[in-house]
Structure 1
């Protein structure tokens, strides 16, 4: 029984280590407390947005990065090694000239390059530009070199149903009979 438990714990630990092997988000501790990840791949804005929204890190949901302060922008620039052509989570595709973040946060901080946004050729999406120091509006169909994901920090308190499901799974792995698991579940409802 103990060897089965040790084996199961080893498999579980290996699974955790392997599933996070490709993700290396960095936390912006002095600011938002959120986590950020730079993904380098050729992609248009819609695909980057879908990929970012389908990403998670340590149980936190991802989205294209939103920049709400100068200190956050300074952090992101250093994180990206000042790269051009990385998608950010800003758009004015709903109403031309009214920029919004994908999260609905206020679009109050900006780092536009001189003369931007200019809507040249119907440019409705936000990217890093000029050695990653400023922002540019660009068409969403353009293929950029990557995108930046922001993972929102949320409450670390798990919901009760998750804990019950986790407990039942552990009991099952430990070899507890189905009858005892059902009794345990019913007594904790």
Structure 2
């Protein structure tokens, strides 16, 4: 039990740096936004806030996102995530240029007619669907924690990952 306690405290500290956003086990901040906007508007709003539309690269990350979605109540409109086929004849890629290494398509998807359903949404079922980019939906932003805050001065920054770790003494002394 005590072996895991320092990791839990470190994770909680990183999550605290996310502010009102949610934090998932990989240390990134995730926020579900319910404002209904087009895919391009969602992309720009995430970027303005220092993040990006979420990129889901593994079943583990998919499960974490699903857990976050289950904690929130929203309509069956779907949420934009980080893929947009700029050129319909090309393979689908994430907004960072990477090809999909993982996918969670709904049955019958992708079914995009050329030049129509070029953007990616996630349903309340957590399955993916290609859809028309000008439809209005909520979205999920992802960003790394803000390590420039005053709280980060109380922690040790990992040179490899950029994560901030706070040393917490969890020892208890007898009275």
- Asked if TM exceeds 0.5, the reply is yes
Q: Is the 8 A contact 1:96 1:124 kept in 2?
A: no
CA drift at 1:95 = 4.0
Residue in 2 that maps onto 1:77: 66
Instruction: Kindly report which structure 2 residues correspond to 1:112-127, keeping only aligned pairs within 5 A, or say none.
Output: 112-120=105-113, 122-127=116-121
Matching of residue 63 in structure 1 with residue 45 in structure 2: no
Return the alpha-carbon distance in structure 2 between the equivalents of residues 77 and 87 of structure 1: 14
Q: Identify if the C-alpha distance between structure 1 residues 33 and 92 changes in structure 2 by more than 3 Å, giving closer, same or farther.
A: same
Q: Which has the higher helix share?
A: 1
CA pair 105-35 structure 1, distance change in 2 beyond 3 A? farther
| Alignment coverage as a number of residue pairs | 126
Select 1:152's aligned residue among 121, 141, 144: 144
Instruction: Describe the SS at the equivalent of 1:36.
Output: strand
Q: Does 1:27 align with 2:35?
A: no
Structure 2: gaps of 5 or more residues: 1-18, 150-175
Instruction: State how far apart, in whole Å, the 2-side matches of 1:96 and 1:127 are.
Output: 19
Partner of residue 93, structure 2: 100
Q: Does 1:44 align with 2:32?
A: no
Give the Cα–Cα distance (whole angstroms) in 2 for the partners of residues 92 and 152 of structure 1. Answer: 25
Identify which of 105, 110, 135 aligns with 2:128. 135
- Once structures 1 and 2 are overlaid, which stretch shifts more, 77-86 or 105-114? 77-86
| Deviation (angstroms), 1:94 | 2.4
CA distance in 2, matches of 1:39, 1:78: 16
CA RMSD of aligned residues (A): 2.3
How far apart are 1:112 and its partner, in Å?
A: 0.3
Q: Following TM superposition, where does structure 1 have runs of at least 4 consecutive aligned residues deviating by more than 3 angstroms?
A: none
TM-score (normalizing by structure 1)? 0.60
Quote how far apart the aligned CAs of 1:77 are.
1.4
Shift of 1:93: 2.3
- Alpha-carbon offset, residue 71 of structure 1: 0.9
Higher relative contact order (CA 8 A, sep 6+): 2
| Whole-Å separation in 2 of the counterparts to 1:135 and 1:79 | 16
In the TM superposition, what is the alpha-carbon distance from 1:37 to its structure 2 partner?
0.5
Distance 2:122 2:144 in 1: 21
